[in-house]
Structure 1
């Protein structure tokens, strides 16, 4: 429970940090509010017309007798909305971070300066457009991975008993991992940590990552909560990134070397399996 608790501690510290810095918190709310309006409109449309969409997609059930047609299409409508809700949680952070990149970048820098002994924050030195391109590219790659997990969990949801008990719990942890990757990417990109290296770093500290991301993913399922927690989540992810890289203990170089080695090993393993 140690690493799980430590991960959750970083999340709480982030929320406390923004609570003590009202101006940073206010700026951090704007991108989330805009994204929330877009997602709410999409989910509301699905709730209103989801049954019509399911009916259009299942013409083979038009001749089914009652009550089987209604039960079948009703179940598919519920599952479709649940999948859309899961994908909303998986993608909300990525879209919000992309929309609010300049805001969250500044917020993350302020957190770094406030806890750094020398009062300085790492800087990427890249132009804003280049940073936005890298962020969008990496977010798309993560969303594809998350989407594959979403489809797999969606399919497993039809398994009796396990689909209604085990699968939702697994979904929270999977979502938490990808949320943490998206959030820590802000601080890690400024330190020049590439996507593959970031993933290797997070995988080597799964319990710490789950401790941070799983509670966040669970709370993000509650309507509107994600918007108000996002600034604190960015601040907490910055603190988590410092811990993952060993900056708190002065072991940053060793940690970076280990993550880079793991990333190279992953690439080599993929090339070997593909015969490259």
Structure 2
């Protein structure tokens, strides 16, 4: 909030992605009855009470799985759309905290290919996890208690890997394996930041405000897990 121009720039890509995802979610909700009926033709001959109970549970599971996938994909797509803006936010945080590293040199074609490859990989992992949790959601009690907690933990972890990307890339740590290794040494600290970020990003419209702040917070987190200074922010210098 001390850099309102950067904050607004960071909100624009999140706003674009939010509009697209809200439209997708509304379309899903409007067609959920048709979708769950298509997914459970075997229940047509069941008693009406049991058929309705199954389809309500199936509808809840479909929506919950879709939201989890959307939250992680939201970060991936928003970062891809607004990469220059979020780099500026990360640079501003680095400058405030001091000892900011120089930009890592990487040819543009190589950088684009790396970013696309990593984004597709993250979405594929998110989809796989979503499918597993979707089916686990049908297990009595476990599906209503354990699965949402596991979804928040895994979703938060994936989002943390996404959000620290800019700070890690600046230090030449450009592989997702390197991000996982460093964050894994500070797992509780990482999840303490990432799970609330995941839950807040799951709330439509609020995510527009959260995303620029989460980008700044992830830069601080990256410095902490890398053992760099992360003390009290200095007065920001005006951006060129």
Query: Smaller-chain TM-score range?
Result: 0.7 to 0.9
Measure, in 2, the Cα distance between the counterparts of 1:165 and 1:57.
24
Measure, in 1, the Cα distance between the counterparts of 2:55 and 2:138.
14
Give the alignment of 1:244-263 within 5 angstroms: 244-248=225-229
Tell me by how many angstroms 1:127 deviates.
Answer: 4.4
In structure 1, the gaps of 5 or more residues are: 1-18, 250-276
- State the match for 1:68 in structure 2: 50
Distance change >3 Å, CA 128–CA 35, structure 1 → 2: farther
- Secondary structure of 2:48's counterpart equals coil
Give the alignment of 1:179-190 within 5 angstroms: 179-190=159-170
- State the match for 2:181 in structure 1: 200
- State the match for 1:221 in structure 2: 202
Measure, in 1, the Cα distance between the counterparts of 2:85 and 2:119.
17
| Structure 2 residue 118 is matched with structure 1 residue 138 | yes
Tell me by how many angstroms 1:48 deviates.
Answer: 0.2
Q: Indicate the RMSD between aligned Cα atoms, in angstroms.
A: 1.8
- Secondary structure of 2:164's counterpart equals helix
- State the match for 2:224 in structure 1: 243
Tell me by how many angstroms 1:181 deviates.
Answer: 0.5
Residue 21 (structure 2) aligned to one of 39, 44, 58: 39
| Structure 2 residue 118 is matched with structure 1 residue 115 | no
Q: How many corresponding residue pairs?
A: 229
Measure, in 2, the Cα distance between the counterparts of 1:203 and 1:93.
20
Which stretches of structure 1, 4 residues or more, deviate above 6 A after TM superposition? none
Q: Answer yes or no: is the 8 Å Cα contact 1:89–1:221 preserved in 2.
A: yes
In structure 2, the gaps of 5 or more residues are: 231-240
Q: Answer yes or no: is the 8 Å Cα contact 1:101–1:132 preserved in 2.
A: no
Residue 135 (structure 2) aligned to one of 121, 131, 155: 155
- Secondary structure of 2:42's counterpart equals helix
Scaled by the length of structure 2, the TM-score of the pair is 0.88
- State the match for 1:90 in structure 2: 72
Measure, in 1, the Cα distance between the counterparts of 2:54 and 2:141.
18
Q: Answer yes or no: is the 8 Å Cα contact 1:179–1:213 preserved in 2.
A: yes
Structure 1 or 2: larger helix share?
Answer: 1
Distance change >3 Å, CA 56–CA 157, structure 1 → 2: closer
